[in-house]
Amino acid sequence: MVYLIFLAVGVFMSSALAQDVVFVELNTRYTTSDVQVAEPKLIGTYIASTCKHFQGKDAVISLLLLNNQGWIIDDGVVRFFVTEAPASKHGIIYADDVLCTNVIGAQVLPSCTVRNWNGTDLYVHTTSGDVQAISFTMVVRFENTKVIEKNVKPVNYRAFKHFESFKMSDSPVYLTQSVHIDQAVELVYKHNVILNMSFCANPETTKRMKIDSLVLGVGGQSAFNQYACKKLPCTVDGKNVFLSNPNQLPMNILPLSTNIGDFNYLYVLVRCWGGDYNPAIKNYLGSFVYGATVTKF
């Protein structure tokens, strides 16, 4: 879960700026790093390690079939089931384990949703259709829980008998975590904002991993620098800053690498330098979007 914490900024700025306290939530998603190409009837397992950071949110699991966006079964589809536990000791997925699926009767759909996620690791178990070279990518995103209409009945996964013989892949793929802002954020000239983000380790990133933190200015007058902290308070020249890119740039990139234990929580202070003049506030107003992606090295 990631937030732009104007509240934290207000606490550490002068009291005159306390009225500027605002919360803006960012989005977290997990994706395949490469295009997946499946042989006929190939079984796969994809894992999103969450460390219980998204409890109470909805998990939306989506597949994009690159050569079959209409999801026509004769052209090759991918069926998948989502669980919290990896599998039984015999490697079999049972109906009671299934949280959601894209198989509804005779239909095979592009996505399914797990309501009120409360787990640690999310497993997506896939089976490709009997067509050669089915290409796809996968996205798992966490959203605020939506109200379910009263007339919509929950799917009874236990009624699907074919779950009883569904096996887990011996070579799981760990999905890549990233955080981002969907819409541009406006920040007054020479004002700060703190981005608070949580990352979760998996067996591929247990020892070392890298996060590329990117602040991208919008428009021709916006520039920013950024400072990374492992705990609050996070201030320019503060003792908690362990790495920074102090250059005032329209595209400010800060590569972060450390032991995985240090990345459970990360704070990035962004300071605005420049922006277009806004007569309504009689000041310059910068604008930026943000993204950070976890990679192993």
- Predicted confidence band of residue 198 (pLDDT cuts 50, 70, 90): confident
Token pair belonging to 37: 């190409």
Please state which of the ranges 104-108, 142-146, 252-256 shows the lowest mean pLDDT.
Answer: 142-146
- pLDDT of 159 > 60? The answer is no
Please state which of the ranges 11-25, 155-169, 276-290 shows the lowest mean pLDDT.
Answer: 11-25
- pLDDT of 94 > 70? The answer is no
**Separation CA 266–CA 248 (nearest Å):** 21
Q: What is the dihedral of CA 124, 127, 131, 135, to 10 degrees?
A: 10
- The per-residue pLDDT for 88 is 57
- pLDDT of 229 > 60? The answer is yes
Please state which of the ranges 13-22, 23-32, 173-182 shows the lowest mean pLDDT.
Answer: 13-22
Overall average pLDDT of the 125-149 stretch: 87
CA angle, 138 then 143 then 145, to 5°: 130
Q: Which helix H or strand E contains 6, and what residues bound it?
A: helix 6-12
More confident residue, 96 or 164: 96
- Strand ranges across the sheet with 78-83: 100-101, 78-83, 121-128, 43-49, 173-174
Overall average pLDDT of the 152-166 stretch: 48
Overall average pLDDT of the 196-217 stretch: 81
Token pair belonging to 204: 């591929």
Percent with pLDDT over 90 in the chain: 54
**Separation CA 120–CA 118 (nearest Å):** 7
More confident residue, 230 or 25: 230
Determine if the pTM surpasses 0.75. yes
- pLDDT of 269 > 70? The answer is yes
Q: Residue 64 contacts by C-beta under 8 Å, 6 or more apart in sequence?
A: 110, 136, 137, 138, 139
If DSSP codes are grouped into helix, strand and coil, which group holds residue 3? strand
